Chains A and B, each alone.
Chain A
């Protein structure tokens, strides 16, 4: 309503089709790529706003809402969101690589706490990041929902009357026909109906419209983005992520205690975890053995057996990269692997106090040189600790250092430094199993010598013996449950479909007018315009339709004299006395191409 009113006022002010009208002339057809919808709405002043200056609380609220849902704000928010994402790719992120964050703390002790306070290590969970995207989505919703309403309304309305001056449309032609005007119009209308145009007829004219799917696609795209956000939120509330490092022959249960890292969604409790258990029966890897790619992995295979519930039936699965295991909607992925050398430690009293594999963490990928520590708190008379590296294929470099040159365990060796003293494990402080606190220990004087399987270190002062008994491998598993996954996929595909639809379908209107010709028969004028011709091609379509309509009514190209007569009803336009309908369509004519249209609507906004 408001729109019509504004359009009428504009007409009173300015007889010529103005930009003002272009944006508002058609209340039911917001333009492409949907943003004219935004801007044209800036046109309704509403209550509380006079001449752009708001007054009263309601006025300010309305003004603020209009600013928020304006195209310009959306643009700025898009940019801000892009800008805000950049630190997330430059700084290490807690949720992606916590180890890198620790390293950053060590490297920049002054800067890191400051960045942490600004959520620099958790950019995508930061309040300011959320503020930007929530504002953006609010702006989007504020734009899209009213447009959806208007589109639904316009879908039930017939196309507008034909303009009096069809010749002024962006596409126009005319021809003579032998039939009477009414007959010619009738067959033209029939043809357009057959071509699935929505057709409206009147005294001496036919209008037709097609391509409503353009706006449908546009709205679908934007609504689907809202759906995507909702899906992500769903996953964040009800999903969880976990990690587990699993050594060959070991088993774990999917409980918070059984997992190494457990990141539940906000509304997830321990009882929500699916009760499966997994055993790593064996792990194998294949590598390129010769040539320039030597050492590059070809295949990883973690042979699992699992049961979906406690005491349930055992099944086997070959877990591979790109080939996850799905248990009750929970997915298990293979994300890493390494070696766990096995050690047996006999303490000073002759007891075996340690006999198990110890996972070592790869330091590099080409040779899988891995680091790890062995803690033997039960040893007496002194607690023992060892730190060192595992070398799958050991060589001694010319410089005299040790290195591994191949990731498979061809020449497995460990090289360890031995400590005795207090491991500091009784202080109640949690300790990482991958690092050794040597503050209360002293290094033992043992000749540095890499051990082959079966070889031992005999510690001085009768402190005990460590034997490298062999090695097994471990696989690290990621366990994820994300109920938002499928909704997110559907939303994304819907967005894509909407995008393609809005780019491929053009909304266009065609108009036919016919009057009696001088020499009998009719002079038919045929014109058209499109508002959203993103992919182009309207001219071609128009030419084709014009040709077919001419055939349908049995017409022939008008001669020079007839064409002059064909300027149907060219009265009084120059004086600005053209009918209201005429003005509307002419205003649209200015807006013929999508960009022009939006420009005009945009001018409205900048006023």
Chain B
């Protein structure tokens, strides 16, 4: 029997998590608007330094005089080429200056890593720090909410649309936190939390479902495998899509700056890393999301074979997950094809994300199939 006391606690905790996310979002936004003004000077000097190192790295590689290796080689700053703060700088000025040669830029970063110049992984600036702390606190509350709901129901808490959305937003925030720390991609906070907060608000207000038992079709340990895989993959896809949107905006901004249409400085876009790095960050996210999605689809096929007697039956949900898989595969291939890289590949990825969202919402609402119990 579901435990209603725990369930209520779960609901209240989830609402608190949404509030924390919203406040974190405001703090991230405040940082964009005002928090960086003081460090503008630093930002202006940094690009030059980076560019210099890049030149050194590219043209006179051996001249790494006095550049000691990191004291502890076991703890190198991983994925240094995605060290967004160190390389990116304001996209308008530094990004384009150093991005003249991609490999030169990479060398510059590597040289930076060799110098032990790598900065802390943790956020800099009061507002980003506060926003990140709030995000983590919100995430802790959301995890608690999901766990208590699962305990209240004596099952994996992803048996209906309400629980599923709570879980994928949670996964998106986890990806956000990991990417923030690992790639120092704190700038993504605002843009990831925005859809998360909106989705959670709709989830809680419109499609709340009371705790309950699962229909027999869902009573299988495969729900823990298949649906968890889906949740993880979707969380990463969400992050990838957000970064890709940023990439498209920044790329357009860079083109317009290069064309002299608008000044380089000012605006949120000028504070984001360069488009090359955004593209790479998004690509790398999809590189992890795609195998996760593949795994989840395979797990779903095994479960389908177990429950319905065929591993693939072109049920609408299956068909759309297949379409999503194809489009993301096309994205990975397009990124490797001349004439398709950059913007066109980015659009393909967003198209794949649209397919994913349609599978999540459209197929549940408008098309009936064997997965219909997952409906609203």
Docked complex: B56-88 residues within 8 A CB-CB of A:
57-58, 60-70, 73-74, 76-82
- Given the complex, which residues of A lie within 8 Å of B330, measured CB to CB? 75, 78-79, 82
**Of the residues B103, B113, B326, B363, contact of A82 by C-beta under 8 Å:** B326
- Contact across chains for A496 and B294 when beta carbons are under 8 A apart: yes
How many B residues touch the partner, as a band? 35 or more
- Contact across chains for A589 and B103 when beta carbons are under 8 A apart: yes
| Distance, CA A89 to CA B63, complexed state (A) | 61
- Contact across chains for A321 and B219 when beta carbons are under 8 A apart: yes
- Given the complex, which residues of B lie within 8 Å of A95, measured CB to CB? 313-314
Stretch at the interface among B26-34, B233-241, B284-292: B284-292
| Distance, CA A480 to CA B336, complexed state (A) | 41
- Contact across chains for A298 and B216 when beta carbons are under 8 A apart: yes
- Contact across chains for A288 and B77 when beta carbons are under 8 A apart: no
Given contacts A170-B110, A324-B306, contact A503 B291 (CB under 8 A): yes
Asked whether any CB of chain A lies closer than 8 Å to the CB of B335, the reply is yes
Asked whether any CB of chain B lies closer than 8 Å to the CB of A36, the reply is yes
Stretch at the interface among B16-24, B199-207, B317-325: B317-325
Task: Please give me the residue from chain A that is nearest to B281 by CB atom.
Answer: A536
Task: Please give me the residue from chain A that is nearest to B77 by CB atom.
Answer: A540
Stretch at the interface among B122-130, B163-171, B244-252, B338-346: B338-346
- Contact across chains for B62 and A566 when beta carbons are under 8 A apart: yes
- Given the complex, which residues of A lie within 8 Å of B181, measured CB to CB? none
| Distance, CA A88 to CA B74, complexed state (A) | 53
- Contact across chains for A606 and B338 when beta carbons are under 8 A apart: yes
Asked whether any CB of chain A lies closer than 8 Å to the CB of B144, the reply is no
Q: Chain A at the B interface: mostly helix, strand, loop or mixed?
A: helix
- Given the complex, which residues of A lie within 8 Å of B295, measured CB to CB? 496
- Contact across chains for A500 and B291 when beta carbons are under 8 A apart: yes
- Contact across chains for B217 and A291 when beta carbons are under 8 A apart: no
| Distance, CA A160 to CA B320, complexed state (A) | 46
- Contact across chains for A78 and B61 when beta carbons are under 8 A apart: no
Q: Chain B at the A interface: mostly helix, strand, loop or mixed?
A: helix
Looking at A291, A300, A564, which has the most chain B CB atoms within 10 Å of its CB?
A291
Residue interface bits B284-313, CB-to-A below 8 A is 1, else 0: 100110110011001001100111111111
- Contact across chains for B216 and A320 when beta carbons are under 8 A apart: yes
Residue interface bits A510-542, CB-to-B below 8 A is 1, else 0: 000000000000000101000000111111111
- Given the complex, which residues of B lie within 8 Å of A172, measured CB to CB? 57, 61-62, 64, 107
| Distance, CA A568 to CA B61, complexed state (A) | 11
- Contact across chains for B326 and A78 when beta carbons are under 8 A apart: yes
- Contact across chains for B103 and A71 when beta carbons are under 8 A apart: no
- Given the complex, which residues of A lie within 8 Å of B311, measured CB to CB? 482, 485, 488-489
Residue interface bits B345-376, CB-to-A below 8 A is 1, else 0: 00000000001000000010001010000000
- Contact across chains for A540 and B113 when beta carbons are under 8 A apart: yes
Stretch at the interface among A203-211, A249-257, A595-603: A595-603
- Given the complex, which residues of A lie within 8 Å of B263, measured CB to CB? none
Residue interface bits A470-501, CB-to-B below 8 A is 1, else 0: 00000000111010010011001101100110
- Contact across chains for A297 and B332 when beta carbons are under 8 A apart: no
Asked whether any CB of chain A lies closer than 8 Å to the CB of B52, the reply is no
Given contacts A96-B315, A593-B102, contact A557 B67 (CB under 8 A): yes
**Of the residues B290, B334, B339, contact of A606 by C-beta under 8 Å:** B339
CB distance from B61 to the nearest CB of A (A): 3
Given contacts A88-B314, A296-B212, A543-B76, contact A602 B61 (CB under 8 A): no
Asked whether any CB of chain B lies closer than 8 Å to the CB of A86, the reply is yes
- Contact across chains for B66 and A546 when beta carbons are under 8 A apart: no
Asked whether any CB of chain A lies closer than 8 Å to the CB of B36, the reply is no
CB distance from B257 to the nearest CB of A (A): 22
Asked whether any CB of chain A lies closer than 8 Å to the CB of B106, the reply is yes
Sampled A-B contacts (19; CB under 8 Å): A82-B326, A82-B330, A85-B326, A124-B314, A170-B103, A291-B210, A291-B212, A298-B213, A321-B216, A324-B309, A332-B309, A480-B309, A492-B301, A540-B80, A543-B70, A557-B64, A566-B63, A568-B62, A602-B341
Which 3 residue pairs across A and B have the least CB separation, nearest first?
A: A602-B338, A167-B61, A172-B61
